[in-house]
Structure 1
Amino acid sequence: MTTIKPIIKSTLTSSSRSGALKRKLEDIDPIDEVEEPRIPNKQRVKTYRLCPYLDTINRQVLDFDFEKLCSVSLSRINVYACLVCGKYFQGRGNNTHAYTHSVGESHHVFLNLHTLRFYCLPDNYEIIDSSLDDIKYVLNPTFTSEQIGSMESSDKLSRAIDGTMYLPGIVGLNNIKANDYCNVILQALSHVTPLRNYFLREINYARVKRPPGDSSFLLVQRFGELMRKLWNPRNFKAHVSPHEMLQAVVLWSRKKFQFTEQGDPIDFMSWFLNALHIALNGSKKRDSSIVYRSFLGSMRIYTRKIPPIELEEEQKEALLLMDEYQEKVTESPFLYLTCDLPPPPLFKDEFRENIIPQVNLYTLLQKFNAQTEKEYKTYKENFMKRFEITELPPYLILYIKRFTKNTFFVEKNPTIVNFPVKNVDFGDILTQAVKERYACTTYDLVANIVHDGEPGKGTYRVHVLHKGSGKWYEMQDLHVTDILPQMITLTEAYIQIYELKETKQERE
């Protein structure tokens, strides 16, 4: 007996210690305080590993893409998802919306959308079961460095719950009403490798500190969540809804961009990239954010003022000697290049049909060769400008200007741009001094955004290259189909993203 007593004593001591420690931890746990402040210590949640209601979970109805709001009170605080019907409810204690729903509908398994912990109601105990890990992963997908590194070479298909096969990264985005102009930009940006890799790891931007009261960082978090859902290899569905992302866009653009009204993708992209850059504490420096590191280029703009046409030659010559009419040089950074299409023909052909003109991409790029001058008119004055590219970005965005506004209406230019999908050499438009700085100046197309239909009423679709399989895909909201590269060049291209081959080789 003498040998047994100390063992019993030490066991009791250690158990009492662990019990005390557990009580202490429970007392300071902020989650417990928020969730159930009125529940006394004796009635606190007990943890059981087995739950008899796990077979009532319906994964088919689970959708974590929508705002985490209680469906009754519309509160964002302490929201639980019912894993039987998929609805969101607030609270867990007596008389809360989740508790009432559990009793009224006999739905027992709930997931806390913030802490990712599972509970059984109304019994109010935590469920710990590894079979629920797939639900946790769909709500918050995570990626290791190895998984991200293999994305460029993997063509492995994934299976959704309904048996649909899909490629991670090639999944449709839901069109809530008129947000296809946002969808195409989000899809295109999700295939810009450094940007995607940055946002797949939450730790990359979790430490970014914003000023007190500034919540523009929500835009960064929502974009990161969307990237992870688009590339999730274990999705329950073969599509994703950008609802939360677009709510953040509406809020932070001060309703400039809505998902109930059609907008222009180039306006949205310009605003979105700048908003992301600022939210990541970006400055004017090239390496201050992942946005600038990926897309920022630089050009030199030469501007000279033109004398009024009605003046006589002697007066014009006198004006040209003045300092105001001398050529001025300014350095200008850019996130995208605007290419101007030649005006479409005014006459119809012999079959009384419009002639659809074609133009070569290299012809459009002559605007940036430091020699070609273009006239710009203002209300009072006219200027001649020429552009010289001094820095090429790793990813070059081209905006092909199809819409022109006149006094009465918006007109669309239907000119087809002929462009190669691979090996577009931008070295031809660089000056010799700039070209010598680059070992490689050729780019490959990674995304192509197309506008179909009339201006203001048409629809947008995007072509993206899945590098793992080497195939091109066309995405228009929820519709995803593969497409031959030759077919892409026949479309009315609007925005294109090119990748510098040098960055490709470095990654490989």
Structure 2
Amino acid sequence: KEEKEEEELQAAPTNGEIGKEEKMVKIENLDEDDEPEFQGEQNVVWAVPLSSNDNKRAICPYLDTINRQVLDFDFEKLCSVTLENLNVYACLVCGKYFGGRGSKTQAHYHSLQADHHIFVNLNTYKFYCLPDNYEVVDSSLVDIDHVMNPKFSPDQIKNLDHLEKTNRHTRCLDGSRYLPGFMGLNNIKNNDGMSVVFQALLHVPPLRNFFLSHSNTNGKSPLVLHFGELARKMWSSGRFRPHVSPHEILQAISDASNKKFRIGERCDPMEFLVWFLNKLHADLGGTRKPGSSIVQKVFQGAMNMVVFTKNVVGKKEGAKKVNEVTWTESEKSSNFLFLPLDVPASPLFKNESEKNIIPQMPLLTILEKFNGKNEEMVASSGERRRYLLKTLPKYLIFHIKRFTKNFFFVEKNHTIVHFPVFNLELKDFVDPECLVDNPSTKYNLVANIRHCGDDLKSGNCVVDVQHLSSSQWYEMDDLDVKETLPELIALSESYIQIWERTEACATRSNPSAYRSRPIKTEDDNMNTS
């Protein structure tokens, strides 16, 4: 037997990468009932070391045991036995997570008990064979590496909004198809309020491109790191599944917010959006200086405020005391990340058919708050304020205030706000002296978050986002992604809107996709028929 083994070693094939002094490692594939003797060429598999100094092998006999159908790398990286997060490995046969790969670790025990041998380190993305404990290097594992850690080159990021390259659907392992960037997010438990914010922000091109680059997120806080991972997974074109589970980013948000926003409890999407943008700004090293982070570069604008402060002076007129009220006028400038829009209260009475009246109002009407003429009374300070926009941001966020809180419950205003999807003109709300600094005052809608239901606790949130290169709109409700029409978006109960300045649209590779498109009415449909 020894003479035959020596003959096999001498007759083993060599290539340019294997030196003469390197040895070939023979592995015998014997069944339990076979005798431990040489069985012939059909049971011999050669594991070729890549070099004589490291423990890497180019061929592994267990690669065909990998089951890609059960692999899911979106969950929190914790050992399924000890719940520890150090040196976590994923079994590529059953998909479970285990800690370590030494002789006394859970991954080592699992490889012996379950006869599963291929593992991957979830931090270094290296593949190992256990219990032999050698690294496996094979080109067939590239797709798994891409699912775990998708990477984008600068050219790929630049061409994401190109029509010919991004309007292509990708097929998953189960045969289903999806469009990169328009993937559903798994609703783990009542996290739809945060999911719609993720979907909307990751369709803002400058913010999306920033987080798609590894160099901008490596070494940052867990919140920035996991949000970058979520962005790369959503825009990846080689997924095994047509959806993404935001478990890691939700866990990071729960830790960073001290359990204010956590899995299992519904949250106000606007309240979460304000906290999330400010937290990203702080974790990216942002300061009070304008433009100190990508968040301020994208969303920050400025406005002029005229503040009237109430002064009460007591005077005596004979035997009576009279309070004289005067108003002091002052001007100041303030920066903003979003504009709150007040909606008039719903009517209390029903119409003739005993049904509640749902009022309708144009968006430009509630924007008159920022024309510099209308005054707003601030109840907390007793001040009167006038607002006039000074600097328009590249991407403008509107918050349509639909929910009113009192001592007993939260009431929702169902007023429908009409708005144009393309070419929203804001010139009348900008200070005339600042028009030179704002060459473009027209905006196109990019994302629209709407709330369905009567209150925040029982309803759910849906987001409408636009495929920028083709101008096709998609409705995203958790895992459900489907096409929709802009006519339906303009009639929905919008809660948060993100608008893109037309100047930013013109810098894209396909500016013709952003031309003005009038919305057809019922009269137009009757005329065409």
Given candidates 176, 190, 193, the residue that maps to 1:164 is: 176
Shift of 1:44: 9.4
Q: Alignment partner for residue 67 of structure 1, among 76, 95, 98? A: 76
| CA–CA distance in structure 2, aligned partners of residues 156 and 311 of structure 1 | 77
Is 2:449 the partner of 1:461? Answer: no
CA distance in 1: counterparts of 2:478 and 2:321, whole angstroms: 59
For 2:337, the equivalent position in structure 1 comes to: 335
1:282 paired with 2:286, answer: yes
Candidates 170, 179, 198, aligned match of 1:186: 198
Q: CA offset at residue 48 of structure 1? A: 1.6
3-state DSSP class of the match of 2:325? Answer: helix
TM-score by length of 1: 0.86
Q: Tell me the SS of whatever aligns to 1:443.
A: strand
Corresponding residue of 1:236: 240
Q: Helix, strand or coil for the counterpart of 1:282?
A: coil
For residue 81 of structure 2, give the secondary structure of its aligned residue in structure 1: coil
Aligned residue among 152, 169, 176 for 2:188 = 176
Name the CA distance, whole Å, in 2 between partners of 1:91 and 1:44.
Answer: 23
* Equivalent of 2:126 in 117, 129, 137: 117
1:33 maps to none
Which residue of the partner structure matches residue 8 of structure 1?
none
Contact residue 45 and residue 126 of structure 1 kept, 8 A: no
Secondary structure of 2:437 counterpart: coil
Query: Which residue is equivalent to 1:471?
Result: 472
Q: How does 1:128-147 map to 2 (within 5 A)?
A: 128-147=137-156
Shift of 1:95: 2.3
Name 2:105's counterpart in structure 1: 96
How much is the aligned-residue C-alpha RMSD, in angstroms? Answer: 2.4
User: CA separation of 1:311/1:146 partners in 2, compared to 1, >3 Å: closer, same or farther?
Assistant: farther
1:306-356 deviations in whole A, cap 9, x for unaligned?
578x99999999431xxxx30122321111000000111111000100111
Which whole-Å CA distance do the structure 2 matches of 1:312 and 1:189 have between them? 60
Partner Cα separation in structure 1 for residue 173 and residue 289 of structure 2: 46
Match of 1:326 in 2: 328
How many residues of Structure 1 are paired with residues of Structure 2 in the alignment?
A: 456
- Which moves more between the two structures, 58-67 or 328-337? 328-337
The letter for the 2-side match of 1:283 is T
Residue in structure 1 matched with residue 492 of structure 2 by the alignment: 491
1:27 paired residue number: none
Cα contact 1:462–1:475 (8 A) shared by 2: yes
Contact 1:45 1:125 (C-alpha < 8 Å) held by counterparts: no
2:352 is matched with: 350
**Structure 1 gap ranges (5+):** 1-13, 20-42, 209-216
Question: Which residue in 2 is equivalent to 1:155?
Answer: 167
Determine if the alignment matches structure 1 residue 260 to structure 2 residue 268. no
Any idea what SS the aligned residue of 1:162 has? coil
Tell me, in whole angstroms, the C-alpha distance in 2 between the residues paired with 1:206 and 1:288. 18
TM-superposed CA distance for 1:439, in Å, is 1.6
**1:28 maps to what in 2?**
none
Report the equivalent of 1:444. 444
Please state which structure has a larger fraction of its residues in helix: 1
Contact 2:161–2:508 (8 Å) recurs in 1: no
Q: 1:349 to 1:202 in 2, by over 3 A?
A: same
Which whole-Å CA distance do the structure 1 matches of 2:88 and 2:117 have between them?
A: 15
Q: One-letter code of the match for 1:367? A: K
* Alpha-carbon distance between aligned partners in 1 of 2:410 and 2:477, rounded to the nearest angstrom: 24
- 2:253 and 2:316 map into 1 onto residues whose CA distance is 54
Aligned twin of 1:396 = 396
Equivalent pair of 1:45/1:124 in contact (CA under 8 Å):
no
2:225 corresponds to which of 216, 221, 225: 221
Taking the aligned partners of 1:285 and 1:454, their CA distance within structure 2 comes to 40
2:295 matched residue in structure 1: 291
Q: Deviations over 1:64-118 (max 9, x none)?
A: 1111111111111111100001001111121210011011111111111111111
Question: Does structure 1 retain, via aligned residues, the 8 Å contact 2:311–2:328?
Answer: no
Runs of 5+ consecutive residues of structure 2 not aligned to the other structure: 1-18, 24-51, 510-529
Q: Where does residue 426 of structure 2 map in the other structure? A: 426
Q: Residue type of the partner of 1:500?
A: R
CA distance in 2, matches of 1:377, 1:105: 67
TM-score (structure 2 length as normaliser): 0.83
Partner Cα distance (1:463, 1:165) in 2: 19
- Tell me how far apart the structure 1 counterparts of residues 112 and 413 of structure 2 sit (CA, whole Å): 61
Q: Offset of 1:454 from its aligned partner?
A: 1.5
Q: Percent identity?
A: 49
User: Residues 315 and 414 of structure 1: is their aligned pair in 2 closer, same or farther, counting only changes over 3 Å?
Assistant: farther
SS at match of 2:446: strand
Q: Which amino acid aligns with 2:495?
A: Y
Per the alignment, residue 10 of structure 2 pairs with none
Q: Secondary structure at the match of 1:206?
A: coil
Higher relative contact order (CA 8 A, sep 6+): 1
Q: CA deviation at 1:503?
A: 1.4
Alignment deviations for residues 130-185 of structure 1 (CA, whole Å, 9 cap, x no partner) = 01011001100000111111111220111111111100000000111111000000
Cα separation, partners in 2 of 1:205 and 1:284, compared to 1, 3 Å = same
Shift of 1:204: 2.6
CA distance in 1, matches of 2:325, 2:105: 79
The correspondence for 2:379, drawn from 360, 377, 380, is 377
The residue number in structure 2 matching 1:22 is: none
Contact 2:261 2:267 in 1 (8 A): yes
C-alpha deviation, 1:199, in angstroms: 0.5
Residue 273 (1) aligns with residue 282 (2): no
Give me the whole-angstrom Cα distance separating, in 2, the residues matched to 1:118 and 1:409: 54
Contact 2:391/2:438 (CA < 8 Å) preserved in 1?
no
| Helix, strand or coil at the partner of 1:69 | coil
Q: What is residue 206 of structure 1 aligned with on the other side?
A: 218
CA distance in 2, matches of 1:45, 1:121: 16
